[in-house]
A and B are shown apart, each in its own frame.
Chain A
Amino acid sequence: EIVLTQSPGTLSLSPGDRATLSCRASHIVSSTHLAWYQQRVGQAPRLLIYGASRRATGIPDRFSGSGSGTDFTLTISRLEPEDFAVYYCQQYGNSPSWAFGQGTKVEIK
């Protein structure tokens, strides 16, 4: 069973800042099987990135994903007010099955 560990737990930044979020897997993950989600307060999660680096439909290009193997990164180039939220990475495995990281909260500094 693959465990995903996200860091940091909380990121305190200002609008306009760059945000870099990390997701580390306990075993090698195929990059095609790594996704990122955003969850705003009181809302359902929203798909941002799949295949480690492919933006989902309608996602602004300030969001980008990268990485391979066990280390993956979500970058938000310039934070907008609506980007302050919790972000989760997710891995798709065999059977099929899925697992989430514990989340990174991006909060206003």
Chain B
Amino acid sequence: QVQLVQSGPEVKKPGASVRVSCKASGYTFTNFGIAWVRQAPGQGLEWMGWISAHNGDTNYARRFQGRVSMTTDSSTNTAYLELTSLQSDDTAVYYCARRGGYCISGVCYRYFDNWGRGTLVTVSS
């Protein structure tokens, strides 16, 4: 079965960077993209960006552009999220999700069909 296993919790100081990993199994890694979504304490879901595991194409949400980087390593079936210049309001659970979907009769469906359990990143001085 599809599994996305994320790295453990992180505590960072303001101004630091964090890297979160997401190891995929149970499917052909390069056939699907990976999205990253975060959730601040008590808040809703916020899409951060997406990366194609096939060719490395990315699209980042506007508010994170310039301080986010998403990469993949097909030799280990792992996706990575790096966020720099951390501030206290970056404290959140960070989720990776597989971008699933299919096309039929020219109509394409795109959705997040499998999620990791999340990685808590705490930014505190």
Contact = CB atoms under 8 A, between A and B. Distances in A.
The judgment on whether A and B are partners is yes
A75 B115 CA distance: 23
Give the bracket for the number of chain A residues in contact with chain B: 20 to 34
Contact of A44 (B46, B108, B115): B115
Given A97-B50, A100-B47, A56 B113 contact: yes
Interface in A64-93: 86, 88, 90, 92
Interface in B30-79: 35, 37, 44-47, 50, 59, 61-62
Interface string A45-56: 111001100101
A1 B47 CA distance: 13
Which of A35, A46, A98, A99 has the most C-beta atoms of chain B within 10 angstroms of its own C-beta?
A98
A96 B112 CA distance: 13
A51 B117 contact: no
9 smallest CB-CB distances across A and B, nearest first, come from A44-B115, A50-B111, A98-B47, A100-B45, A103-B44, A35-B111, A92-B110, A95-B59, A102-B44
Please report whether the interface of chain A is mostly helix, strand, loop or mixed according to DSSP: strand
Nearest to B108: A32
Interface of B: 35, 37, 44-47, 50, 59, 61-62, 95, 97, 99, 101, 107-113, 115-118
B17 to A, nearest CB: 24
A100 B117 CA distance: 19
29 contacts: A1-B62, A32-B108, A35-B112, A37-B45, A37-B112, A39-B45, A44-B118, A45-B37, A46-B115, A47-B112, A47-B113, A50-B101, A54-B109, A56-B113, A86-B44, A88-B45, A90-B111, A92-B110, A96-B50, A96-B59, A97-B50, A98-B50, A98-B112, A100-B37, A100-B45, A100-B46, A100-B47, A101-B44, A103-B45
Contacts, number: 63
Contacts of A56: 111, 113
Contacts of B61: 97
